Amino acid sequence: MTGRMRIGDAAAAAGTTPRALRFYEERGLLPPPVRTAAGQREYGPDTVTRVRVIRALLALGLTVEDLASRAHRLDLLAADPPRSCASEGDFGPDTFAPVIEQRLAALDAEIARLTRLREALARHTGTVEA
C-alpha cells in the first residue's frame, strides 16, 4: 500500500526530481531517510506529503533558509488541520507567520522598487526616442 519507495519514485510522486530531494535533505528541510543495506534512500508516503508542502511554500516565495529554520514544524502543515493547531496553544503553525510577513514586506519593497524603475524608464523613453 504505497509503502517504501526509492528516491526516483518518491520524487516523481511529489512532482520533482531526485536531485531536489537530496538538496532538501542537505539543507535540512528533510530528515536523513532510512537507507537500505546497500545505502539507497527509502521514503514513505509521509515524506512525499512533506515534500509537497515544501514545494508549495517555496512556490509562495519563501526561501530554503526560511524553511530550514522552521523545518521541525513542516509536518504540522501537512494535514492542514485548523483544529489541532488551536489545541497546541502558542505552539501552532503560526510559527510561519513572522517569516511570511517578512516575505510580504520584502515583496512590497521589491514591487515598489520595480514600479519606480518602470516610471523612470518610461520617462526617459520619451527623452531618448523623440
Partner DNA sequence: CTTGCCCCTGACGCGCGGGGCAGGGGTTAG
Partner DNA sequence: CTAACCCCTGCCCCGCGCGTCAGGGGCAAG
Q: What is the 3 state secondary structure string of the chain?
A: CCCCECHHHHHHHHCCCHHHHHHHHHCCCCCCCEECCCCCEEECHHHHHHHHHHHHHHHCCCCHHHHHHCHHHHHHHCCCCHHHHHHCHHHCHHHHHHHHHHHHHHHHHHHHHHHHHHHHHHHHHHHHHC
49-68 positions binding DNA, by CB under 7 A: 55, 58, 63-65
Binding flag, residue 78, a second copy (CB under 8 A): no
Q: What's the grid cell of residue 26?
A: 542537505
Per CB under 7 A, the list member of 1, 2, 3, 37 interacting with DNA is 37
Binding flag, residue 82, a second copy (CB under 8 A): yes
Per CB under 8 A, the list member of 4, 61, 69, 72 interacting with a second copy is 61
Select 24 or 96, whichever has its Cβ closest to DNA: 24
Binding flag, residue 69, a second copy (CB under 8 A): no
- For a second copy, the binding residues (CB under 8 A) are 60-61, 77, 80, 82, 85, 93-94, 96-97, 100-101, 103-104, 107-108, 110-111, 114-115, 117-118, 120-122, 124-125, 127-130
